[in-house]
Structure 1
Amino acid sequence: MTDNPYQYTIADLLKDLPEPLNAANSEKETVTYQRGKAKKNGLEGSPDDSGLRFDDSVPVKEIALSAPELSGTDADDYEVVSIKTTYRLGQLPGTQIGLKYTRPVVKKKSTRTLTTTPAPANVLERSFADVSFLVGMLLDKFLYHLPLYRQHQRLEQNGVQVARSTLTNLVKRIIELLMPIYQAQMQSVLLSRVLAMDEAPIKAGRKKQGKMNKAYFWPIYGDQDEVCFTFSLSRGMQHTLDQLGDFSGVLVTDGYGAYERFNKQNSALSHAQCWVHSRRYFDDAQKAEPEAAAIALAYISRLYEHEKVIRDQNNYYTTA
């Protein structure tokens, strides 16, 4: 026998590893925001008192609402005396549209009293923004990473005049409404037996003219394919401690030292570092140590085979 550890073939070294289970023979398991009262100023070019302004290039869809009094048992006792109009800003794919709701004002002949069909309920009270516009704005900002200032530029190019501060205010109000959903999802994520966590730098908040502060998103991914993006101004361990607390499952991370320090503060936690990050170094070492790197990569590949079988069986954990 020679002292050369690379004399054996990869097949020789892998023979002691168990083969992946045959999936065919296994049973398959099936932030509070306080908003002040907005000042209502008459704005030139606004069709009503909502503050919404747009020019003739913006398409307007008229939606006529009926008065229930006109179809009631005493409908003959009512007559339409005028029409009230409410404007809201909606959105279609790639453009905006003005939604024009016409609402009849009816007078009851016998009492000479006037009633008006109410405008449809809106997501945000006393706002001209329709739910379609709000959803589009949030998707553009958070899913497609289109900042509000660029969305504002696009609105102006489409003929809609809305202050940038108004867009910021709308985002804050919607986040307040969505906060209970985020909190419920975060509670669900923390019930997982295995969590994955990472941190990614972003620019947030002006540091000085032309400079932005460096902050971090810390996504936390759970068993149910749920992910919550937590935010911190720093990359310190304290944020992990604040978010995970006494979590007692398995935490999968890269090799960043903050997670190891968190593990020392939480002895109930099992810290598992990411194979993908580890594998990169063996991949990079192929030029310098091709035989040793190939052996390591083959071992990791076999582990991935087992993982695939388990994942395909939808059986992530072995229970006693």
Structure 2
Amino acid sequence: MSLTLTPRVPDAIAVAALGPAQIAQMLQSQAAQIEELKRQIEWFKRQIFGNKSERFVPQVDAQQMHLGQLLGDLAQPGDQSETTQIVPAHKRRRTVSDFSDEGAAAATFFDEAKVPVQVIEVPNPEAQGLAPEQYEVIGEKISHRLAQRPGSFVVLKYVRPVIKRRDTQTLHCPSAPLGVIEGSRADVSFIAGVLLDKFRWHLPLYRQHQRIQEAGFKTSRPWLTQLVQKAAQLLEPIYTAQLDSIRASRVITMDETPIKAGLGGGGKMKASYFWPVYGEHDEVCFPHFESRRHEHVQQALGLKRKPGTVLLSDGYEAYASYASKSGITHAQCWAHSRRAFFEAQGAEPKGAAEALRQIGALYQIEDEIRQAKLLGEAKRVHRLAHSKPRVQAFFTWVDQQFEQQGLLPSNPLTKALAYVRERRAGLSVFLEDADVAIDTNHIERALRPIPMGKKNWLFYWTEVGAKHAGIVQSLIATCRLHDIDPYTYLVDVLQRISVQPAQRVHELTPRLWKQHFAERPLRSGI
């Protein structure tokens, strides 16, 4: 957003030469520019000093007393009408401090089934010098401490005996264990750890390289880059199978987010985009394209769609264009519509607050649906009975604001009203289809690792690197959606992909892997 400057105010001689109509037009133009500058200054102030959250807190009526005032007024001093009440005894859970280290309560901060525990016996000084028959152990007390080793890397040393048969006089030695990357000295556990450190915990490879060197290992940074590339190539068939599953979904959510990938002119990086797609089975993929052009939607989803398919997105016209060409229903996001009114609060607080209140009522109904765990037809009926009247009332209110004709076209509230009125059909799709969400917040949450990672790794040197990042991020993000440990998953599928038949590679996608292999995953040699 750039700050535009107003032109120089005409001097008195120039103004005197103008007619009344011209002066009125000039004043109107300047007033519009002043309002625009105020809006821009308000936006900059909010970005620098304000809260980034879009949470809306309605203003409290000054005439309304809070609970403390009400009770204070009712309970006057010296009131003889007070009565006593006996409160029955109850059990209260004792709060455990994070600094507590005694007893069983201290062990609640870790899971003994997952966390390695090293037991250290503390000798009792009173028992030193005493014979075993001179004292009796009647119990024990346990304390816990969270510790850390300088490095968590381990070298696996495979010792293979060479034997000579006396009868045949021949030498025999077992083969070295095969690695997932042929000829590499990296164990599958190390490869999975590098992928997770980079793509889940956003630790760039140069930092990982520094940590490995400080742990006493002599490796090169390009070697880590090669490991990530080759691992992504191994995982690409699984990513492709998952993308095919998403394309076959009836309801698809799509978005786009920018990244820097590839060298551009003048020592700068080129701007490109991930176009995340989210399927109805809670799967997400991050296809990478070099721009934000409309045709990338078709490249990601394909042109031929089944009848009844719904594409849920924000207001970017590329999605509407694709929906019209492929003959599918285009649903639009209420969160993006709400954001336009949130941004208009500085210019028109009263009108924007009314819009936010009405949209908030829709989200309250969605919260009731989640709490009641309504699905299918029951969910659709509930929306028709409660949400549809509110949607109709909202758009009636929008039309009334336009009929008043009290706002300039450049006013932020006018733009927000025009935004939702143009998208009324798309914003109403969720009322008739229970499988369509009210917004795209689910894909916004799934793509969060991309903007989070950009703050650490900043860019990719090549477009191929961005493609590989999209492959790994897709599988890790889907693992989190299905409550799968990404480390266990990657260690298993990196070993299994080379022996899995091509026609059954879809079984290695996180959703189906959880059904087929999660109970007995392949482990590393560590």
Report the TM-score, using the length of structure 1 for normalisation: 0.63
Residue matched to 2:159: 102
**Distance (Å, rounded) in 1 between the aligned partners of 2:201 and 2:255:** 20
**Does structure 1 conserve the Cα–Cα contact (< 8 Å) formed by 2:162 and 2:171?**
yes
User: Which residues in structure 2 correspond to 1:1-320 (within 5 Å)?
Assistant: 95-207=152-264, 210-245=267-302, 246-248=304-306, 249-266=309-326, 268-312=327-371, 313=373, 315=375, 318=380
Shift of 1:167: 2.4
**Distance (Å, rounded) in 2 between the aligned partners of 1:93 and 1:308:** 47
Shift of 1:132: 0.9
Shift of 1:182: 0.7
Shift of 1:289: 3.7
Distance 1:164 1:192, change over 3 A: same
Structure richer in strand, relative to its length: 1
* Deviation sequence 1:103-139 (CA, Å, 0-9, x none): 1112222222221122223211221110011101111
Moved over 6 A (4+): none
**Distance (Å, rounded) in 2 between the aligned partners of 1:193 and 1:93:** 50
**Does structure 2 conserve the Cα–Cα contact (< 8 Å) formed by 1:263 and 1:270?**
yes
Shift of 1:259: 1.8
SS in 2 for 1:271: strand
**Distance (Å, rounded) in 1 between the aligned partners of 2:277 and 2:252:** 7
Distance 1:102 1:226, change over 3 A: same
* Deviation sequence 1:158-215 (CA, Å, 0-9, x none): 3333333322322222112111211121122122222221111111122257422211
SS in 2 for 1:125: coil
Percent of matched pairs sharing the same residue: 50
Distance 1:259 1:306, change over 3 A: same
**Does structure 2 conserve the Cα–Cα contact (< 8 Å) formed by 1:310 and 1:316?**
no
SS in 1 for 2:153: strand
User: RMSD of the TM alignment (CA)?
Assistant: 2.6
Amino acid aligned to 1:250 = V
**Distance (Å, rounded) in 2 between the aligned partners of 1:177 and 1:197:** 26
Larger radius of gyration: 2
**Does structure 1 conserve the Cα–Cα contact (< 8 Å) formed by 2:251 and 2:280?**
yes
Shift of 1:216: 1.0
Shift of 1:235: 1.0
Distance 1:94 1:212, change over 3 A: farther
**Distance (Å, rounded) in 1 between the aligned partners of 2:300 and 2:150:** 37
Amino acid aligned to 2:334 = W
Distance 1:225 1:302, change over 3 A: same
Shift of 1:93: 9.8
**Distance (Å, rounded) in 2 between the aligned partners of 1:310 and 1:147:** 42
Report the TM-score, using the length of structure 2 for normalisation: 0.40
Q: Quick check: 240-249 or 279-288, which moved more?
A: 279-288
Distance 1:237 1:94, change over 3 A: farther
Structure richer in helix, relative to its length: 2
Amino acid aligned to 2:360 = S
**Distance (Å, rounded) in 1 between the aligned partners of 2:268 and 2:348:** 44
Shift of 1:309: 3.8
Gaps of at least 5 residues in structure 1 are: 1-91
